[in-house]
Amino acid sequence: MYVRSNIPGPNLEQKSFEDQFSGCDCQPPGSGCNSTTCSCMRRFGAAYDEKHRLVDIDPYSDAMRPVYECNGACTCGNDCANRVVQHEVACDLAVFRTPSKGFGVRTLQAVLRGSFVCEYAGEVLTREEACRRATNLTDADCNYILALREHVTADGKDHVITTYVDPMYIGNVGRFVNHSCSPNLFMVPVRVNNDVPHLGLFAIDDIAAGTELCFDYSGVVQRPDAKATNDHITVHVAPTHRKPCHCGSTTCRQFLPFDETLYDN
């Protein structure tokens, strides 16, 4: 089943997915939203430039400021520059059959660095449901479950917020985006109406029309000059769970990233 954006999976309340944030009172046309006057942008600054591209991109850093877009309670209107991921798929994409990775996605148009491409949308799962589904997969199945971990500091303490998204049964085109050890997309959690993040995929660099789109499933983007290494891959997992990677990159780590926490309950 197709969804534009994340929806609650079993045992998750619809309420958390409804409008919860208050809005700005900036006025259209052109919204007038900017990081000085707009209450949505004032906290963390402008995330996007006037061409709707992410500013301050550093896909290789594991620290990035949160992205909060204008939302349903704002008066600025749909043309506001602080609304990007909520507009869904942003360029012409085609799903195609790859030689060794199942289906994949390619862009039919050139994509500029920092541009939003599409969301990785699906059912948001509890940890228990994510583990149950992961454990039921056979080695031949595609694994679509993505665990996003956000490290935040609040009240002087460090917290990890984990969001499990599964587009296997219910999702959008993002479910067909394959892994690469030298990706051209990276994932940014973006919040719009509530605390449930949208998993936005953005271009790391300019991408030519016809290119396959991929992101690094580990959530860590290696610098282009990095040497191939398996260091970050947990070695004590059952080898049957580890799938060979066919990304073809010269810095390929040979196996797809594997999240053992989905198998340890």
Ligand X SMILES: C[S@@+](CC[C@H](N)C(=O)[O-])C[C@H]1O[C@@H](n2cnc3c(N)ncnc32)[C@H](O)[C@@H]1O
Dist CA 189 CA 158 (whole Å):
18
**Planar angle of CA 29, 30, 31, nearest 5 degrees:** 85
Write b or e for each residue in 71-88: b if 16 or more Cβ atoms lie within 10 A of its Cβ, otherwise e. Answer: beebebbeebbbbbbbee
Residue nearest to ligand X (CB): 102
Least CB distance from residue 175 to ligand X, whole Å? 5
Least CB distance from residue 42 to ligand X, whole Å? 36
Among 102, 128, 169, 228, binds ligand X (CB under 6 A): 102
Q: State yes or no: residue 44 binds ligand X (CB under 6 A).
A: no
Neighbours of 179 (CB within 10 A): 18
Dist CA 89 CA 177 (whole Å):
13
Nearer to ligand X, 53 or 198 (CB): 198
Site for ligand X in 107-146 (CB under 6 A): 142-144
Piece in contact with ligand X (CB under 6 A), picked from 29-37, 86-94, 190-198, 242-250 = 242-250
Least CB distance from residue 240 to ligand X, whole Å? 14
Of the candidates 200, 187, 213, 180, which has an alpha carbon nearest to the alpha carbon of residue 105? 213
Dist CA 114 CA 52 (whole Å):
8
Whether the bond between 28 and the residue before it is cis, its omega within 30 degrees of 0, is: no
Among 245, 253, 257, 259, binds ligand X (CB under 6 A): 245
Least CB distance from residue 65 to ligand X, whole Å? 27
Q: How many residues bind ligand X (CB under 6 A)?
A: 17
Q: State yes or no: residue 83 binds ligand X (CB under 6 A).
A: no
Give the up-direction half-sphere exposure of residue 58: CA atoms within 13 A in the CB hemisphere: 6
- Phi and psi dihedrals of 220, rounded to 5? -110, 125
Site for ligand X in 160-189 (CB under 6 A): 175-176, 178-180
Site for ligand X in 140-159 (CB under 6 A): 142-144
Nearer to ligand X, 112 or 238 (CB): 238
Least CB distance from residue 213 to ligand X, whole Å? 11
Q: State yes or no: residue 103 binds ligand X (CB under 6 A).
A: yes
Dist CA 174 CA 25 (whole Å):
33
Instruction: Tell me which residues touch ligand X (CB under 6 A).
Output: 101-104, 142-144, 175-176, 178-180, 243, 245-247, 256
